[in-house]
Amino acid sequence: MKTKIINITVLYDGQCEFCRQCVKWLKGQNSFFPIKFLASQTGQAREQFPELINEFKAGRFIVVTSNREVYFDSKGKLFCLYSLIDYRNLSLILGSPKFFKYTNTAFNYIAEKRYNISSVLLYLNRIAK
């Protein structure tokens, strides 16, 4: 039996508009435990997780739990869904051995296209203003 997770920290690319929008969405959801968000470019992220400095690359999405377990990219995104009350069920389906390879492909595709998605989001933001 694993130790209970008390909180998680999400390290994201603060220069990516798509990532910022995802974080904004995550902040609006109800979660099973508190979620802390840190842009990986900040000094605070480097100070708190010096072991992960080499992983702080553009577009990387990292989740660190209170048990010091680290989940990268697709697994990180899946873990975020697992943290949310309304999406835990979905995360269990998407993360099941049958579906994970498709989930991984889909998340990687979105991550690859994040700049295109970011520019669309920025354009939509500009129109909205």
Partner 1 sequence: MLVVTYLIYIVVSLGVTIWVARTLQQHGRAFLVNAFKDNEGLADSVNHLLVVGFYLINLGYVCITLKAKNSPVTVADAIELLSSKIGIILLVLGGMHFFNIYVFNRLRRSGLLEMFEPPVEPDQVLPNKI
Q: Which residues bind partner 1 (CB under 8 A)?
A: 2, 32, 49, 51-52, 64-65, 67-72, 75, 78-79, 82, 85, 88-89, 91-92, 94-96, 100
Q: Which is nearer to partner 1, 20 or 88 (CB)?
A: 88
Burial of 46 (0-12, 13-18, 19+ CB in 10 A): middle
Shortest distance, position 18 Cβ to partner 1, whole Å: 22
Give CA–CA dist 84/79, Å, rounded. Answer: 9
Q: Which is nearer to partner 1, 89 or 125 (CB)?
A: 89
- Asked whether 60 and 72 are in contact (CB, 8 A), the reply is yes
Q: Which is nearer to partner 1, 107 or 117 (CB)?
A: 107
- Asked whether 76 and 63 are in contact (CB, 8 A), the reply is yes
